[in-house]
Amino acid sequence: MAIYVITGANRGIGYEYCRQLKERGDTAIAVCRTPSNELKKLGVQVETGIDITSDQSVADLTDRFDGLEIDVLINNAGILQRNTLENLDFESIRQQFEVNALGTLRVTQALLPNLHSDSKVIIMTSRMGSIADNTSGGSYGYRMSKVAVSMAGKSLSHDLKPRGISVGILHPGLVSTRMTGFTSGGITPETSVNGLLERIDALTLETTGTFWHANGEVLPW
Ligand SMILES: NC(=O)c1ccc[n+]([C@@H]2O[C@H](COP(=O)([O-])OP(=O)(O)OC[C@H]3O[C@@H](n4cnc5c(N)ncnc54)[C@H](OP(=O)(O)O)[C@@H]3O)[C@@H](O)[C@H]2O)c1
C-alpha cells in the first residue's frame, strides 16, 4: 500500500485517480481548492484550500505534510483557456503559465523533502504541449505552458535521478471532463486513469523522463 498525493483532486482526472487508488487499496491524499461533494463522500484524506499558484498556500501544504513520506506525487491540477492569434489575451496566457507550469514546479519543489529513494513524481502534461505533434496551431497559453511543464519534468528527471526518484511526463488522452466541455469524442476519466496508473506503476529510473500517452505510446517532444 503506497501513499499518493494528487493535486486538482476534486473533479475530473484528479478525482478519478483518488477513486481508483482507493479502490485498489492504496492511500490517496486529495489536494484541492474546494472539495466536491463527490470527493467528500469518497472517504480519502482531503487537504482543502490549496491554490498551487500561491507560495503561502503551498507552504501551508508542506506544514500539513510535515513528516509524511510520499511514494507518488501526481501533479494533476491544470487549466485550459482558448487563445487564438486574432484574440490574444496575455493575462490568460500568463495565468496558464502560473497554474500549469509554475504551480506544478512550486508544488514539486515544496514536497521534495517528503520524497524518498523510489518515490515517483508525475507531471500531467498534454499532447498539446508536443511541438512535433502541433499540426493545428492556436491555444497559445495552454500549448506554451504545457511545453514548459514538460521541460520542467525533463529537468526534474535528471536532477532527481541521483536521489532515486523517477519522473513520468504523462498525457491522459482526450478525456471527457469539464476541461474539454465533457466532449463526447473523449475517453472516460475511468479509462484514462486506468492507463495512467499502468504507466505510473511501470515507471522506473531507467524510463524516467519519458513522455507517454496513457495508452502506452511514447510521444514525441
Ligand atoms: N481532459 C483532457 O482531455 C486532458 C488532456 C490533456 C491533458 N489534461 C491535463 O490533465 C489534468 C487534469 O485535467 P482534467 O481534464 O481533469 O481538468 P478539470 O476537470 O478541469 O480539473 C482541473 C483541476 O485542476 C484544478 N485547478 C485549476 N487551477 C488550480 C489552482 N490554481 N490551484 C489548485 N488547483 C487548480 C481544478 O480545481 P478547481 O475545481 O478548484 O478549479 C480541478 O480540480 C490537467 O493538468 C490537464 O491539463 C487533460
The per-residue pLDDT for range 155-213, each reduced to its tens digit, is: 999 999 999 999 999 999 999 999 999 999 999 999 999 999 999 999 999 999 999 99
CB neighbour burial string for 13-26, b if at least 16 within 10 angstroms, e if fewer:
bbbbbbbbbbeeeb
| 57-68 residue pLDDT tens | 999 999 999 999
- Select from 16, 37, 79 the residue to mutate for testing ligand 1; criterion: most ligand atoms less than 8 Å from CB: 79
Neighbours of 98 (CB within 10 A): 17
Side-chain half-sphere exposure of 113, counting CA atoms within 13 A: 10
Cα-atom radius of gyration of the chain, to the nearest Å? 16
List, in order of start, the domains of the chain with CATH numbers: 3-213 (3.40.50.720)
Atom of ligand 1 at shortest range from CA of 11: 43
Q: What is the distance in A from the centroid of ligand 1 to the CA of 162? A: 30
